[in-house]
Copies of this chain bind each other. A is one copy, B any other.
Amino acid sequence: MTGDTRRPSKLADVARLSGVSTATVSRCLNTPDRVVPATREKVLKAVAELGYAPNFSARALAARQTFTIGAVIPTMENAIFARGIQAFQEELGRLGYTLLIASTSYQESLEEEQIRNLAARGSDGLLLIGHHRSNRVLDFLQGREIPALVAWAHNDGTAALPAIGFDNAGAMAELTREVLARGHRRIGVISAQTAANDRARLRVAGIRATLADVGLGSAALSVIETQYGFDAGGAAFSALMSQEASPTAVMCGNDVLAVGALRAARELGISVPNDVSITGFDDIEIATLVDPPLTTIHVPHGAMGHRAAQMLVQMVTEKRLNMPSVELSTTIVLRATLGPSPGND
């Protein structure tokens, strides 16, 4: 009960009650082994008695460390980021850090503003999504010496920031091989907007490269870029299917677009996978809930968020702006929406 008094107690109160200096109290809390056990116990007792909790603003100002990590993500509205961010936040909490969150609503121009905002608020480190970013932002981060880690992507050595994620192009290439193996030769692609999104870009590139490998040129491919959302995916699917030579397989840049396509197919009376195959990317929970269940690429959301927290905190505590990138592996999950090409039986 003493802890819940009107005025929150401060370091000086603890010092007074335990009969030591504020410096010693501070040491007990931050570097306990630099103080003899007897003193430490005395102080810790006073801390408990007063229900003392440090003022993080003061601590941040004095120590130039906030124990706060900022994340700038497109949106937390969908499962694609929510799961990873949840894991990120959980592990951060375990490590004594709190998550400051900002979103761009998929507006590229907002990212810089949010990064500057989180920096002004003293974020010890920043989690960013993907590598698409201006040099100005990169210079800002470097000038301020703020560790930043990119997630949902991999750094093959060409990117400026260390990354934890997976090989977007490689994963999609592998799935494309599965599609080709089933006889499909006219591929439709529903991609997220690629202009400010390297992940989307790489996924499409993975498809293109694999088609080229087997001698299929751009005539075999029909790509539509669309906004994020179930409805957008559905509309893109309709557009794709109303072409003269419509695709026998539609590969989608993410599960949300794929599920939207699936719903559109049902509405249009197009049978999946008998008339057309559909694939996704992400393996979010909805992939198993739709009927037929979605063939997609499994992404280790939880592990990525978890390790991202560990890596970023390590960068922060070791004051490193760089560190080896880590690539997580993805797996193809064959469910029911991918079947043989209808032209092939």
Which secondary structure characterizes the binding site on chain A?
helix
**Interface residue A193 (Cβ < 8 Å from any Cβ of B):** no
Assuming the contacts A4-B143, A61-B58, A139-B4, asked whether A76 and B66 have C-beta atoms less than 8 A apart, the reply is no
Tell me the chain A residues, 44-75 only, with Cβ under 8 Å from chain B: 53-58, 60-61, 66, 68, 75
**What residues of chain A have their CB less than 8 Å away from a CB belonging to chain B?**
3-6, 8, 53-58, 60-61, 66, 68, 75-79, 82-83, 85-86, 89-90, 93, 98-103, 105, 114, 116-122, 136, 139-140, 143-144, 230, 259, 262-263, 266, 285-286, 288-291
Q: Is the CB of B289 within 8 A of A230?
A: yes
State whether A118 and B101 are in contact (beta carbons under 8 Å apart), knowing that A286-B286, A289-B286 are contacts in the complex: no
* A68-B121 in contact given A6-B143, A89-B102, A90-B103 (Cβ < 8 Å): yes
Known contacts A56-B122, A60-B57, A286-B289; A99 and B98 CB within 8 A of each other: no
On whether the beta carbons of A76 and B85 are closer than 8 Å, the reply is yes
Contact of A120 among B55, B85, B103, B121 (CB under 8 A): B55
Q: Which residues of B contact A120 (CB under 8 A)?
A: 53-56
Complex copy number for this chain = 2
New A-B contacts (19) at CB < 8 Å, excluding given A98-B118, A99-B101: A3-B140, A4-B144, A53-B120, A55-B61, A55-B122, A57-B57, A57-B61, A57-B66, A68-B121, A76-B82, A79-B82, A89-B101, A100-B100, A100-B101, A230-B289, A262-B289, A266-B291, A286-B289, A290-B290
A–B Cβ pairs within 8 angstroms, 13 of them? A4-B136, A4-B140, A55-B120, A55-B122, A57-B66, A57-B121, A76-B76, A76-B86, A77-B79, A90-B103, A93-B103, A93-B114, A101-B101
What's the minimum C-beta distance from A294 to chain B, rounded to whole angstroms?
11
